[in-house]
């Protein structure tokens, strides 16, 4: 999982203890980003974990819950290992929660479909072992085979692109002003301006997750200008088709 998520989850639920598996070391003094973060809560534990094909560094029946958030494009073997290890370290009646982002989007137009097809080719060239099938379907199938019970799934559509409404422009909201508005403040605004702000923020987060999960490994030197979302025409098509991440 991402370091930041476990950090803030620990702050939100101080009575629970969170163990975060990450290649990042808790005493990594070379990271200026980590140095800029506030001190980790006392209930937060950072544990180095380098390969998703390795065993989790915990004994059996250790945790009440295991959470896996937005794993990057992976092989079926990786998913099988993560789910098997999650099962091993969970206590009886423990919970496995997984947030999965699929490679294919919903309601894709021709331009977006071609871009995703091209991305699949690049991913396959970079690592032929990576599965290009629906990650969500793969995970559900493996979870069922590993003996989990009471399996529930929820599909959520996150917009790929959004525009600032005319009413927002009329109100004089510039991009710089919008950045200073928190999500909590937007949710209190019941007008179309608030809805537009939330949609724009959610779309930005969705693009970031998609980039991290699927595009990053295919971009030479992390060149974001080669991202499919750098294509303005593609974004316009996504707005027209109401394309969404799944």
State the average pLDDT over residues 173-197: 51
Distance, C-alpha 186 to centroid of its chain: 22
Query: Would the pTM of this model clear 0.85, i.e. be above it?
Result: no
The proportion of the chain whose per-residue pLDDT surpasses 70, expressed as a percent, equals 78
At 229 the pLDDT is: 94
- List 68's β-bridge partners, or say none: 98
At 64 the pLDDT is: 96
115-161 residue pLDDT tens: 999 999 999 999 999 999 999 999 999 999 998 989 999 999 999 98
Helix (H) or strand (E) holding 94: strand 90-99
Alpha carbon distance 57, 228 (integer Å): 37
Give the CB-side neighbour count of residue 8, counting CA atoms within 13 A: 5
State the average pLDDT over residues 206-227: 89
44-91 residue pLDDT tens: 999 999 999 999 999 999 999 999 999 999 999 999 999 999 999 999
220-239 residue pLDDT tens: 887 888 899 999 999 999 99
**Per-residue DSSP letters for 154-212?**
----EES-----HHHHHTT--HHHHTTS-HHHHHH--SHHHHHHHHHHHHHHHHHHHII
């Amino acid at each position: 999982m991402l370091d930041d998520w476990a950090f803030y989850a620990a702050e939100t639920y101080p009575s629970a203890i969170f163990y975060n598996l990450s290649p990042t070391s808790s005493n990594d003094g070379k990271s200026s980003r980590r140095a800029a973060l506030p001190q980790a809560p006392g209930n937060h534990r950072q544990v180095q974990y380098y390969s998703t094909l390795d065993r989790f560094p915990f004994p059996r029946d250790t945790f009440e819950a295991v959470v896996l958030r937005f794993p990057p494009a992976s092989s079926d073997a990786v998913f099988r290992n993560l789910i098997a290890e999650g099962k091993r370290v969970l206590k009886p009646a423990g919970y496995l929660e997984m947030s999965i982002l699929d490679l294919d989007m919903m309601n894709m137009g021709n331009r977006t479909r071609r871009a995703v097809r091209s991305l699949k080719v690049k991913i396959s060239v970079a690592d032929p072992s990576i599965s290009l099938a629906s990650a969500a379907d793969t995970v559900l199938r493996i979870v069922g085979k590993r003996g989990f019970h009471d399996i529930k799934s929820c599909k959520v559509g996150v917009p790929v692109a959004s525009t600032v409404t005319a009413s927002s422009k009329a109100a004089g909201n510039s991009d710089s002003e919008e950045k200073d508005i928190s999500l909590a403040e937007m949710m209190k605004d019941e007008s179309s301006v608030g809805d537009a702000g939330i949609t724009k923020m959610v779309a930005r987060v969705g693009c970031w997750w998609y980039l991290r999960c699927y595009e990053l490994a295919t971009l030479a030197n992390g060149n974001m200008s080669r991202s499919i979302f750098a294509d303005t025409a593609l974004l316009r098509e996504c707005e027209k088709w109401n394309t969404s991440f799944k």
